[in-house]
Structure 1
Amino acid sequence: MIIALILLGAVLGFAVVRPRGLPEATAAVPAALLAVASGLVTPAGAVGEIRELAPTVAFLAAILVLAFTAERHGVFGYLGALVARSGRGRPRRLLGAVFGAAAVTTAVLSLDATVVLLTPVVFAVAARAGVGHRPHSYACNHLANSASLLLPVSNLTNLLAFTASGLTFAGFAALMAAPWLAVILVEFLIFQFFFATDLARPGDATDLARLGNTAADGPTVAPRYALAVLAVTLAGFAGLQPFGVEPAWVAGLGAIALAVPLLKNREIRPGELIARADPAFCAFVLSLGVVVLAVRVNGLGDHIETLLPQHADLLGLLGAAVLAAVLANLLNNLPATLVLLPAVADSPGLLLAVLIGVNVGPNLTYAGSLATLLWRRILHARDAAPRTSEFLKLGAVTVPLSLLAGVTALWAGLHLA
């Protein structure tokens, strides 16, 4: 188990640092091969893990292309224009609009879209409004994690849990709607107090060039075709799942529907679609699954089972969520999910509590999720790096209260169901 943990630590450390900008797969693929070659994982076990993860990774590739093509159709520019008009240059109103936009974007297009595509737009909107960007950019990061609770397609962790839960798409969303709303409300209220000084400061002129080159003015006419495709795709996730249609197929068809007009008008090239599917990151996820399997089968899985509560009462759900949050910050949320799921697969309540932990918990530290690390790099590129002390203080306030609110709402929903 120690050797397997060293391999996992090396993979995650490389993913955090990314020396010379090398992709995460640069370390993950050799580590997975080494795990098999050294006997930590059998070849059959590795192949089985890859097969189990393949539908989830296929969805990841498809949703990345879907978000990219939606952005090229002007969806995020239009969303930024709506946020700007709703905020009317007032910091508190703008924060509410950002919360709404980030929550919806994360739920429908996954947390990566919120971090990569929405954060720069929000950054520019705050600059144009002459208000400080900190509350609004932090909101994009926090909601990319915590607002990913709603749908199975909102996060890779959700897809993994959804596959193991035996729930329908609609059933999953129904149980997670109350925790999703509760967590977002708690985050919003805490942001009001934590950033009270920033939100009370009147707007003034800001040097937009210093904050980034993203245009703050989005299109005033809605990209109806793209929005219609996204709506149909979302309906397809729920409507086709009972017939055994994998979410990856639905997301893929939605991406094709958005890509065809762009390709026809030569606004994008076929190679861009392949690049946006991020084959290297997909390889990283598959390889990470093999490395985590090595950790799990060599003893960690047994230790985790002894720590997990056995009953889905309120204390049991809270204990499972807290353990998941701790592991997410120690191992990263994706490995933590892979480690925990086999132990809670027979209890939908505990499984969903674990999901709250691995989705909300990463707001505590930079290493909690890859999305947070990517968000940090985006701010660094705009010469607006977050202060580590501030990030940790905000996480220390929001995460415990959000976990408590989300788990309590889940417990209530399970008893009402």
Structure 2
Amino acid sequence: MQVQEGAAKHPARRLALLDWLRIGLLAVGLLAVAVGLLPWRDARATGERILPLLVFLGAVIVLAELAARAQVFDVIAVRLTILARGHNAVLFLLAVLFATLTTTFLNLDTTAVLLTPVMIATARRAGLAPLPLAMTTVWLANTASLLLPVSNLTNLLAMNRVRLEPLEFAARMALPQAAAVVVVAASLWVFYWRRNPARYEPPAPFRPHNRVVFLAASAACAVFIAGIVVGLSIYVVSAVCAAGLVVAFLVFDRGELSWSLVPWRLLVFVTGLFLVVDTVGRHGLSDWMSTLIGTDPGTEGVVRAAATGGALSNVLNNLPAYVAGEAVIPTGNHTQLLGLLIGTNVAPLITPWASLATLLWAERCRAAGVSVPWPRFVATSAVTAVVVLAATVAALLVS
């Protein structure tokens, strides 16, 4: 029997509580513009800034979702499990590598939304507890998102601010990213993986239900990654690859296409969040953030920016924390801005709402019947967040 472990083919139509919160956030932002709390000129400038980001987000999520429906992630995950030959330690290294590469090249929300159910299903096929694999996806979804602009929305914002090309950005963040993955891998092993049985029974090979669309999706993902590496526009290459894959599905597997592919929830959330943060920033938040972060371009300023971004992310959410912090950092303080970026990328591990990726991951775990022990989650994530933040900031300062 062929079982599709990717995204649900027939998602529920009813809006969840989180959906209403996203819509409410956008409504609050639009209301702020309507009553003058956020001047129309500023709102328009914000819209012009985020429009290319929204296009990219929409395209890359469609690309990733179709890749999941073509069962690309299922095939890779099961083959990694077989490749480990029943050894828990080898499977651990391969799972870390898989989650890291997915986050780096296909965005952290891809890892949280699409990879989580695949990894859970793979763990069950191998007779393993699903929590270690689930924790691997959520921690690396957040912490493996430093290297490329496509990995995280905050990276796109920072890259534009410091005026770095994608490969220049990657060179600047390579050492911090390596430090983050090493620290998180060590934490995952100590807190979750080392208690697994040393051996497991490898599952049977997984074959996609439609080989043609599987090959088309694999090719689209490969072209997308290659386009990033050679320096093509991330906006253009994501749109072209997504559109090409949509055409392939239209021809070979039309039944898998639906309007649910359009990530309207994420687009509504991002738009509303930017409007609300801009409004709050004009009415006191910027002064408060300026006091916490300061304007020192040196080590002290970098540390303060990273610590403030990380703490505020766990209190509120990492996206408004980054936007609010970015607004008060002088444009010439590139390293301080990257410190803020690191804080808002790797530290939002502790609370479930610290990042959108964690919220989406929790929903997928619940849908897959995996119970998350939240006290243990918070305790282990707090330790990991502190250590990984210190390691990545130190790596940034010496890079």
SS of structure 1 residue aligned to 2:371: coil
1:310 aligns with 2:290: no
Cα distance, 1:225 vs. partner? Answer: 4.2
**Which residue of the other structure, out of 337, 340, 345, is the alignment partner of 2:325?**
340
Q: Could you say if the C-alpha distance between residues 280 and 187 of structure 1 is closer, same or farther in structure 2, counting changes exceeding 3 Å?
A: closer
Could you say which residue in structure 2 is the equivalent of 1:410?
396
Structure 2 counterpart of 1:249, which letter?
Answer: V
Retained in 2: the 8 A contact 1:182–1:409?
yes
Retained in 1: the 8 A contact 2:216–2:248?
no
Could you say which residue in structure 2 is the equivalent of 1:253?
240
Q: Could you say if the C-alpha distance between residues 216 and 137 of structure 1 is closer, same or farther in structure 2, counting changes exceeding 3 Å?
A: farther
1:377 aligns with 2:377: no
Retained in 1: the 8 A contact 2:292–2:304?
no
Retained in 2: the 8 A contact 1:121–1:216?
no
Cα distance, 1:219 vs. partner? Answer: 3.1
Could you say which residue in structure 2 is the equivalent of 1:228?
219
What are the equivalent positions in structure 2 for 1:268-307 lying under 5 Å apart?
268=255, 272=258, 274-307=259-292
Query: CA deviation digits over 1:48-89, x for unaligned, max 9?
Result: 111111111111101111101222333212211222123333
Could you say which residue in structure 1 is the equivalent of 2:139?
142
The whole-number CA distance in structure 2 between the counterparts of 1:232 and 1:399 is: 34
1:325 aligns with 2:316: no
The whole-number CA distance in structure 1 between the counterparts of 2:273 and 2:300 is: 31
The whole-number CA distance in structure 1 between the counterparts of 2:218 and 2:136 is: 24
Q: Report the TM-score when normalising by structure 1.
A: 0.85
Could you say which residue in structure 2 is the equivalent of 1:156?
153
The whole-number CA distance in structure 1 between the counterparts of 2:49 and 2:280 is: 17
Could you say which residue in structure 1 is the equivalent of 2:19?
22
Cα distance, 1:269 vs. partner? Answer: 5.6
Cα distance, 1:142 vs. partner? Answer: 0.4
Retained in 2: the 8 A contact 1:132–1:198?
no
Q: Could you say if the C-alpha distance between residues 234 and 315 of structure 1 is closer, same or farther in structure 2, counting changes exceeding 3 Å?
A: same
Cα distance, 1:281 vs. partner? Answer: 2.8
- Higher percent of residues as helix: 1
Structure 1 counterpart of 2:315, which letter?
Answer: L
Structure 1 counterpart of 2:366, which letter?
Answer: H
1:395 aligns with 2:377: no
Retained in 2: the 8 A contact 1:116–1:375?
yes
Q: Could you say if the C-alpha distance between residues 196 and 21 of structure 1 is closer, same or farther in structure 2, counting changes exceeding 3 Å?
A: closer
Could you say which residue in structure 1 is the equivalent of 2:350?
364
Retained in 1: the 8 A contact 2:142–2:345?
yes
Structure 1 counterpart of 2:218, which letter?
Answer: L
Retained in 1: the 8 A contact 2:23–2:268?
no
Q: Could you say if the C-alpha distance between residues 240 and 175 of structure 1 is closer, same or farther in structure 2, counting changes exceeding 3 Å?
A: closer
SS of structure 1 residue aligned to 2:133: helix
Retained in 2: the 8 A contact 1:81–1:218?
yes
Retained in 2: the 8 A contact 1:179–1:409?
yes
1:125 aligns with 2:122: yes
Structure 1 counterpart of 2:273, which letter?
Answer: L
**Which residue of the other structure, out of 32, 36, 57, is the alignment partner of 1:35?**
32
Structure 2 counterpart of 1:67, which letter?
Answer: A
Could you say which residue in structure 2 is the equivalent of 1:5?
none
Unpaired runs of at least 5, structure 1: 1-17, 206-214
Structure 1 counterpart of 2:312, which letter?
Answer: L
Structure 2 counterpart of 1:310, which letter?
Answer: T
Q: Could you say if the C-alpha distance between residues 59 and 24 of structure 1 is closer, same or farther in structure 2, counting changes exceeding 3 Å?
A: farther
Query: Kindly, what percent of the aligned residue pairs are identical?
Result: 34
Of residues 25-34 and 404-413 in structure 1, the stretch that sits farther from structure 2 once superposed is 25-34
Retained in 2: the 8 A contact 1:192–1:199?
no
The whole-number CA distance in structure 1 between the counterparts of 2:264 and 2:124 is: 34
Retained in 1: the 8 A contact 2:173–2:396?
yes
Cα distance, 1:161 vs. partner? Answer: 1.3
Cα distance, 1:109 vs. partner? Answer: 0.6
The whole-number CA distance in structure 1 between the counterparts of 2:230 and 2:198 is: 47
Cα distance, 1:399 vs. partner? Answer: 0.6
Structure 2 counterpart of 1:250, which letter?
Answer: V
The whole-number CA distance in structure 2 between the counterparts of 1:74 and 1:384 is: 21
Retained in 1: the 8 A contact 2:117–2:368?
no
Could you say which residue in structure 2 is the equivalent of 1:181?
178
Of residues 281-290 and 293-302 in structure 1, the stretch that sits farther from structure 2 once superposed is 281-290
Could you say which residue in structure 1 is the equivalent of 2:253?
266
Structure 2 counterpart of 1:66, which letter?
Answer: L
The whole-number CA distance in structure 2 between the counterparts of 1:390 and 1:371 is: 19
Count of aligned residue pairs for this structure pair: 381
Structure 1 counterpart of 2:243, which letter?
Answer: I
Could you say which residue in structure 1 is the equivalent of 2:80?
83
